[in-house]
Amino acid sequence: SIQDKNALHLYSVNGKYLGSETLKEEVSDMCVTGEYIVMGSLQGFLSIRDLHSLNLSISPLAMRLPIHCISVTKEYSHILVGLEDGKLIIVGVGKPAEV
């Protein structure tokens, strides 16, 4: 974060710069799972981005409170979101019939 601008930068394992994406929110936690980056922000948005293009996979989900931590289950079936007020939100991943 430099001068109120936040960005997500992507590098290869060899350190080659692959790209970046400017972010509107301040990232509080993130985790990489498979082909996706799952991010939570202090503005209360849960975002899922493609690992290679950094494009949003879905529209950000509003949690209405700052997100403090994120975890994804081993089976990639649910995202666990810890909020500022101590609540744990469980978000199902996949099509409605699968969740």
User: Please, what are the domains in the chain?
Assistant: 2-92 (2.40.128.630)
Which one-letter DSSP state was computed for residue 2? B
Which one-letter DSSP state was computed for residue 47? E
Nearest CA-CA partner of 31 in 80, 85, 98, 90: 80
Q: How far is residue 86's CA from residue 7's CA, in Å, rounded to a whole number?
A: 27
Would you say the pTM of this structure is higher than 0.75?
Answer: yes
Q: How many CB atoms lie within 10 A of CB 81?
A: 23
Q: What percent of the chain has pLDDT over 90?
A: 83
Nearest CA-CA partner of 69 in 23, 28, 26, 8: 28
How high is the pLDDT of residue 94? 75
pLDDT tens-digit profile, the chain (99 residues)? 455 688 999 999 999 999 999 999 999 999 999 899 999 999 999 999 999 999 999 999 999 999 999 999 998 899 999 999 999 999 998 766 554
